[in-house]
Structure 1
Amino acid sequence: MARVPFPHRRRTGRLHPERGASSLEFAGMLPLLLLVAMAGIQLGLAGYAVQQAGSGARAAARLAGQQDTADGYAAGGRAAMSGWTAKRSTFALSGGGDEVTVKTTVTIPSVIPGFGSLGTASRSATMPADEDD
């Protein structure tokens, strides 16, 4: 009975001629995997900036609605936000009469160094104003 050689054995006598092929395939796919990971991180940063802008707008509007703290509404809004979002935020107060509206804008940073920002995230909040006695 004739012996059947292994399917991956060649006449040269080498047992594994495709040795290292998976490493080359991984090296070829690595840039795509890194790009997808960086895009996911960038989307996470944008979502977090939107959430923080909303928190800052609500806190600032709450303070702006009170007569005695209407001047420090931006500082109160920044205090409700995390460090890097508070440094990149601006506040705009509008309204009058029965309610005040504060719009908070946060600049979204880029994951890739040197690209600056990739836009802004804005949220606004409206709160009732305290009435004068």
Structure 2
Amino acid sequence: MSVLPLLGHRAPPRRRATPAARSDGAESAVAAAKPSRETRPRRRRWDDRGVSILEFTGFLPILLVIGMAAIQLGLVGYGINQAGTAARAAARIESQGGDGTAAGQAAVSGWLHPNVSPDKGPDLTTATVKVHVPPVIPLFGGWDVTRHATMPTDD
């Protein structure tokens, strides 16, 4: 068995035996001038060229939406991480008598627009940070992420 059919190649056509000689020994002039059906290239009725680019073009919007959704999930995860970090920083500084709001806002990237609100109690200091994660796909309005952190109050 040949490997060529597995790779999508066709084997060359087999040639027929030469036409039988006429009784006088000369070949027909028509047969010699006209190429046989086996030697002419065959035209395909349906050509497969260009089909893969059409399939790719049809599938490209789906790939873009999946990619943008993955980026959006990454941004939401980043926002959660930033909000948690800011809440811990704000609670720690506020529990020590400093400005927890400024510390929480300094711990977050500015494009997340943090809203820091520390609450100092007699035993515990709690800080709540809310950040807004912007949308990658313009059809959605973005997400608000809230994180809380509690630290013991230093006296």
Q: TM-score, normalised by structure 2?
A: 0.68
| SS across alignment from 2:128 | strand
Residue correspondences, number? 118
Question: Would you identify which runs of 4 or more consecutive aligned residues in structure 1 move more than 3 Å?
Answer: none
Partner of 1:52: 82
What is the one-letter code of the residue matched to 1:32?
I
1:3 paired with 2:30, answer no
State the Cα RMSD in Å: 2.3
| Counterpart Cα distance in 1 of 2:45 and 2:110 | 59
| Counterpart Cα distance in 1 of 2:75 and 2:84 | 14
Quote how far apart the aligned CAs of 1:113 are.
Answer: 3.8
| Counterpart Cα distance in 2 of 1:24 and 1:83 | 43
> 1:62 is matched with which residue: 85, 92, 97?
92
Alignment of 1:19-58 (within 5 A): 19-58=49-88
CA contact (8 A) 2:135 2:143 kept: no
Per-residue CA deviations over 1:45-98 (Å, capped at 9, x if unaligned) read: 10100000000000000111012x1xx21111111122322xx11112225111
Partner of 1:123: 147
Choose between structure 1 and 2: higher helix proportion.
1
Quote how far apart the aligned CAs of 1:16 are.
Answer: 7.8
Per-residue CA deviations over 1:4-52 (Å, capped at 9, x if unaligned) read: 6xxxxxx862598110100000000000000100110111110100000
| SS across alignment from 2:60 | helix
Partner of 2:104: 77
What is the one-letter code of the residue matched to 1:83?
G
| SS across alignment from 2:102 | helix
Residues 81, 123 of structure 1: CA spacing in aligned structure 2 closer, same or farther, 3 A cutoff?
same
What is the one-letter code of the residue matched to 1:111?
V
More RCO (CA 8 Å, sep 6+) = 1
| Counterpart Cα distance in 1 of 2:126 and 2:118 | 6
| Counterpart Cα distance in 2 of 1:84 and 1:114 | 19
